[in-house]
Amino acid sequence: MPPPDPAPTGCEYHRRPPLRFFAYSWGQLSAPLATTQFAAISHLNALGFQTNPLTVRCDGPQEMLAHYRAIEAQRATLGYDIDGVVYKVDDLALQARLGFRSSTPRWAIAHKFPAQLAWTRLEAIDIQVGRTGALSPVARLSPVTVGGVVVSNATLHNEDYIAGRGAKGNPIRGGKDIRIGDWVQVYRAGDVIPKVADVDLSKRPASAEPYRFPRPAPECASPAHREEGDAIRRCTGGLICPAQAVERLKHFVSAQRLRHRRPGCKQIELFFHDSDLPVKTPADIFTLAARDAANPLRQLKNRDGFGDTSVTKLFAAIEAKRQIPLDRLIFALGIRHAGEAAAGLLARHYGTWTAFESAMTNAEPGTPEWQELTAIDGVGDILATSLAQAFANPAERAAIDALITHLTVEPVAAATLTAPSRARRSSSPAPEKMTRAGQGPRRGHGRQGRRQRQRENRSSDRRSRCGFQGERGRKTGHPHH
């Protein structure tokens, strides 16, 4: 990172910033660094990179937990922030065989330190509607500092959590429910996500009433149903629900990597409600330029926040995304349970959009298409049912068919993976904020590594990025390294 030129101001601030880092992973390589994670990090150190001296190789759970406790005891004196340690399979060949989930490796797991706690008042409970119709309660809090961060919102998970029940109906927080006006204890899970841990009943206002979870969805008044075995209540409005439609647009734009300085999440909502250039479905994105040209009196370049250059770049970015790999398209459709990893499995099995579309159209329990679908390793009845329902729903199918007319779908080649086996683990401290998860052998170890990189280059970061923008979103949470 070169220092800025201090000549214009001579300010002390413009000198080289004192940045340092621990090398723990690597990108594309001409030859492997070593055969194990620990040996590769040692090799990096021998090459002159600074590596974390707290990284050790452990033999079994007891050694791992002992090292976790040792690092926890040093946490306050380390000179840098960490929120836990990460346990990794040491053998790089086994790492490659274990592979990745949609955003995290199977060969690494984070072990977080206990969270810091604070008390504040619960001012309100709002319900947010996700792209799959999930109703998510959010606590609006009187601002409070937790671990050096001011917190004013916290997740409440679902209606059972508010009522003081766990996933299996068992009491949590001693069975104490959460009510508006309560004095609540807040923590940041993994030093990142604010959550409510407890309630002080001694400070509960006499007027506080049990919270009633909405049965009609708050956005479209459609019935909100809760399936058996599901902790989440969902709006059944589908594409007629404006909240779901907007969230699906955001998901599609993010998954497509439509990169442009603007618009972002808020601008997508503005386009959705725009009377002159409405964008209600993904297909509308690809007709935006033509509709804008046909409306000279209300062209986008003449609106506040836009201009000739901005609009030209926006339309160019959209045009460049008319060609899309099959796996990215399946993920971008936003079908429930069809995440990034599942989309890759489906794309590699069917290969082309024609084969995939035909199979999903005819996939019903008992049919050959259903048997073929559920026979794919990693695809079960839940995902198969969700896919079949999406292609059988008239409104969703119409939106998919309209979108396909604007796209050229690239086929995806098949791939084979081997089965995992047992492995030793290495352990290292986890920095508090990282923007990628498990870079290491994910990039650059043989044919599987090349395929993984190709999929990554085409896949969504799913890291809080939203809108037609090129700015990379940040992900904080469980960094794996």
| Distance separating alpha carbons of residues 113 and 275, to the nearest angstrom | 50
| Distance separating alpha carbons of residues 379 and 382, to the nearest angstrom | 8
User: pLDDT, tens digit, for every residue of 121-177?
Assistant: 999 999 999 988 999 999 999 999 887 789 999 999 999 999 999 988 899 999 999
Does 403 lie in the same domain as 272? yes
Establish if 195 belongs to a structural domain.
Answer: yes
Does 171 lie in the same domain as 28? no
| β-pairing verdict for 149-155 and 108-112 | unpaired
E strand segments, 397-473: 408-410, 425-431
Long-range own/partner contacts, residues 41-48 (CB < 8 A, 24 or more apart): 41/428
Establish if 194 belongs to a structural domain.
Answer: yes
Residue matched to tokens 């995939």 = 356
User: pLDDT, tens digit, for every residue of 247-274?
Assistant: 999 999 888 766 544 446 778 888 999 9
pLDDT beneath 50, residues of the chain: 1, 3, 6-13, 260-263, 416-423, 433-481
Does 292 lie in the same domain as 403? yes
Residue type at 223 in one-letter notation: P
Cβ within 8 Å of residue 10, ≥6 positions away = none
Does 157 lie in the same domain as 99? no
Q: Are 263 and 467 in contact (CB under 8 A)?
A: yes
User: In the prediction, which pLDDT does 472 show?
Assistant: 32
User: In the prediction, which pLDDT does 234 show?
Assistant: 92
As for how many domains the chain has, the answer is 3
Does 266 lie in the same domain as 406? yes
3-state secondary structure 365-383: CCCHHHHHHHCCCCCCHHH
| CATH code of the domain in which 434 resides | 3.30.1490
| CATH code of the domain in which 351 resides | 1.10.150.20
Does 145 lie in the same domain as 32? no
| Summary count for the chain: helices (H), strands (E) | 16, 13
User: In the prediction, which pLDDT does 14 show?
Assistant: 52
Last-in-domain residue among 414, 443, 463: 414
Does 129 lie in the same domain as 78? no
User: In the prediction, which pLDDT does 15 show?
Assistant: 61
SS3 content of the chain, % helix, strand, coil (to 5): 35, 20, 45
Establish if 466 belongs to a structural domain.
Answer: no
Establish if 249 belongs to a structural domain.
Answer: no
Does 92 lie in the same domain as 219? no
Last-in-domain residue among 225, 252, 270: 225
User: In the prediction, which pLDDT does 81 show?
Assistant: 83
Establish if 423 belongs to a structural domain.
Answer: no
Domain that holds residue 17: 12-107+430-453
pLDDT, averaged across the chain: 82
Does 271 lie in the same domain as 185? no
Does 366 lie in the same domain as 322? yes
Q: What residues are paired with 323 via a beta bridge?
A: 408
Establish if 476 belongs to a structural domain.
Answer: no
Establish if 247 belongs to a structural domain.
Answer: no
| Distance separating alpha carbons of residues 396 and 241, to the nearest angstrom | 12
Does 291 lie in the same domain as 213? no
Establish if 313 belongs to a structural domain.
Answer: yes
Half-sphere exposure of 351 (CA within 13 A, CB side): 4
Q: Are 105 and 438 in contact (CB under 8 A)?
A: yes
Does 304 lie in the same domain as 276? yes
Structure tokens at 388: 């079949």
User: In the prediction, which pLDDT does 203 show?
Assistant: 95
Q: Are 390 and 248 in contact (CB under 8 A)?
A: no
Cβ within 8 Å of residue 455, ≥6 positions away = 327, 344
| Distance separating alpha carbons of residues 461 and 251, to the nearest angstrom | 11
